[in-house]
Chain A
Amino acid sequence: MLKENTISRRGLFMKMGILFNGLVATALAVPIAGFLLSSITRGRANGYLSWVPLGPVKDFPEGETRLATFRNPFVTPTDGKTVDTACWVRRVEGEQFQVFAINCAHLGCPVRWFPQSGLFMCPCHGGAYYRDGSRASGPPERGLFEYPYKVQDGMITIQAGELPTPGSPTASLLGKQPPCAARNDLAPRNDLISIDGSKLYASSETNALPGEKKPWA
């Protein structure tokens, strides 16, 4: 009266056949998943990031911010123009640079530099950033993404290769602390004197996000 006895020979073969197919499917799923996830796994081995040159330092005058382009280090044969990327290079002084990603920290649209007002403006949702990349206004939650750079033999090189997005690990390593944070001078500025003679404050406290404490609030 055991239950096993009720299984017929054909029934057993069918179950074994299903089991066999299941095993084969599992075995085949490994290479399929490996193929599908290759774009992630390759990046984990850090194969995407490399140092790429932007040009000689003398091309970037001190105190100015200029557009530079570079070719992405990771290229496939069908990429066309998409591997050419733009970035904003700000030469603060000497060999001190800031290299900003072209992508707005909000949703990745290309930001444009306006030297007259010292602002980066985004055409999509109106994000604005100061010359040092810190957030000025609009929907972005943070400052512009920055590439790590080094100056070697008169050439400026940056570490690039990944689309900077708000959540990417490279982005969170770089530029999370706005570079201006250290230079915030809350002291009154001598060059700003209002009409009635009182000193005015110009600090990046004005960059505070809504909800953060503002000194004059």
Chain B
Amino acid sequence: MGLIAQVGQWFDQRLQLAAPIREVTEHPVPRNTASWFYVFGSAALTVFILQLVTGILLALIYVPSASEAWSSLQALNHDVALGWFIRAMHGWGSNFMVAIVLIHMVQVFLFGAYKFPRELTWIIGVFLLLMTLGMAFTGQVLRFDQDAYWGLGIGASIASRVPIAGPMIVKLMLGGPIIAGATLSRFFALHVFVIPGMLIGFVCLHLLMVLKLGINEWPMPGRLVKKTTYVTEYHELTKRNGAPFVPYAVWKDLFFAAFILLAVAACALYFGPFGPTGRPDPTVIQTAPKPDYFFLWLYGLLSYLPPSMETPALLIGPVVAIAGLVLLPFLSGEGEKSWRRRPIAVLTVLLIAVTLGTLTHLAGFTPWSPHMNAWSGDPVPDKFLHGSTALQRQGALVFQAKQCRNCHSIGEGGGQRGPALDSVAVRLTQDQLIRQVIQGGGNMPAYGKNLSPAETTALVAFLESLHPRTQAPARDAARDMVLREGQAKRPDTQP
């Protein structure tokens, strides 16, 4: 017997782990599960391990104190050798992890893997998703910069809307009355101890159940799940037509895991670390905070919900969504697994994907936010001033000086909060323009108290000139008639 084998035997006599490991690695899986569709779970685990490793490395330098955290991140980025790379790996790893967990979930949902007897595996998976999102949010807080500071304010504002308990939840979340040192410390505890601890525990449970219950077989249209017969049918699949997990299926997992790690490293190398943006100094208010990528959709949603619906949607929405995910295996625990025969399931996934994708895309350029510097930074393009009268030019000045530009675009520049005004004269008559400017309405503030009559007249004269050459400006036919009549009668009327 060779030396290595002898040492191995010495350890195994004491650890007694060889037999259970062999059982795990060689357990038979249905042949058609050795597919590229089945690699996302192991990829998520791989990225999670990467996050643990890079997280521990970052903790060697990072200081979880509101007064030092930002500087310690700067040191990681600029002073510590390869600190920037480890930060970038951790940041990109988090993006990849959320993405892979979501893809894994979609695959499991479309392949009907949440059905009997894997209901609990799915429910624990839902908790794992929530914890992954919790890690993403707390991680964003640990990057203690302006976005993190104001992001916490947004979190507190949402939490404060809970009836009765709201203010207490805010103080519990912030660790005090304001966002300060205690806030960062408790988010550090959550990000580094509490949530990872729970994640490790739940991941082990999740894996254990996959091993005990077996990997979901490739769904065949027409092969229905019945609680009475499923277990025997599955055993036949694995016993008669199965293959050992190692090496039959595992090689695809290995290749994909390595590919994902390479992809994370490539993104880290090419794009570098995330932030930190400006110092978390609440007296610096020249900032437009934005959440990290995976919460952009929420940022978009919060600006599109009507004010009256916002609080109910924020408080009830997550409860309904989580309850729906948890109850899913109980609502459809049996029956068809194949996505080819579950059109509603496919449409649901598409609807959610399109909704989240659209909101994320919109949050990329935030059409709902005023462009704070447009009034001083984006001039009115020349073409709108060609051949204009002195009054119209004065109006263009009013248009810039009164920050109309922050919400309304002309030409290329300006905000998109309100409608573009390139051809506003075609849509609104003079009277309507005056009323809109002075009284506001339709989500526009009233400018009556901030414009003198002369300024209003000039502004409206400029707005009336904004129409394509081929289209005449809108006019009120009735008003024209009244004015004409008035002119005809003028000699008789009293002053």
Contact = CB atoms under 8 A, between A and B. Distances in A.
A is bound by B: yes
Interface of A: 36-37, 39-40, 42-43, 48-49, 67, 69, 72, 74-86, 102-103, 106-112, 114, 116-119, 121-126, 128, 130-131, 136-141, 161-163, 165-169, 189, 191-196, 200-202, 204, 206-207, 209-211, 214, 216
A117 B307 contact: no
Interface in B433-487: 434-435, 438-441, 443-450, 452-453, 456-457, 460, 479, 483
Contacts of A165: 156-157, 159-160, 166-167, 170
Given A77-B181, A110-B287, A141 B168 contact: no
A203 B462 CA distance: 25
Interface string B286-309: 111100000000010011011110
Task: Please classify how large the interface on chain B is, using the bins under 10, 10 to 19, 20 to 34, 35 or more.
Answer: 35 or more
A136 B447 CA distance: 10
Most chain B CB within 10 A, of A43, A107, A138, A194, is at A107
Contacts of B176: 39, 42-43, 48, 74, 76
B441 A214 contact: yes
Contact of B160 (A80, A168, A194): A168
B370 A163 contact: no
B378 interface: no
Interface of B: 65-68, 149-150, 153-154, 156-162, 166-168, 170-172, 174-185, 279-283, 285-289, 299, 302-303, 305-308, 310-311, 368-370, 372, 375, 401-404, 406-407, 417, 430-431, 434-435, 438-441, 443-450, 452-453, 456-457, 460, 479, 483
Contact of A80 (B68, B153, B306): B68
Contacts of A39: 171-172, 174-176, 182
A139 B305 CA distance: 8
Given A80-B66, A107-B157, A139-B307, A112 B372 contact: yes
Contacts of A48: 176-177
Given A126-B417, A201-B448, 14 more contacts: A82-B280, A83-B178, A102-B282, A103-B153, A107-B158, A117-B403, A123-B372, A130-B446, A136-B440, A139-B307, A166-B311, A168-B160, A168-B166, A192-B453
Given A86-B282, A137-B443, A195 B434 contact: yes
A216 B483 CA distance: 23
Given A192-B453, A200-B438, A210-B306, A82 B288 contact: no
Given A114-B403, A141-B307, A206-B440, A125 B302 contact: yes
- The A interface is mostly helix, strand or loop, or mixed, namely loop
A156 B163 CA distance: 34
Given A81-B280, A110-B287, A161-B177, A210 B308 contact: yes
Contacts of A83: 178, 180
A128 B457 CA distance: 24
Contacts of B285: 67, 86, 102, 110-112
Nearest to B434: A194
A136 B156 contact: no
26 contacts: A39-B172, A39-B182, A69-B283, A76-B176, A78-B67, A81-B279, A82-B183, A84-B281, A84-B283, A86-B282, A110-B285, A110-B287, A116-B402, A117-B403, A117-B450, A119-B450, A123-B372, A124-B369, A125-B299, A125-B368, A136-B446, A140-B307, A165-B166, A167-B162, A167-B166, A195-B457
A202 B402 CA distance: 17
Given A76-B180, A168-B167, A125 B369 contact: yes
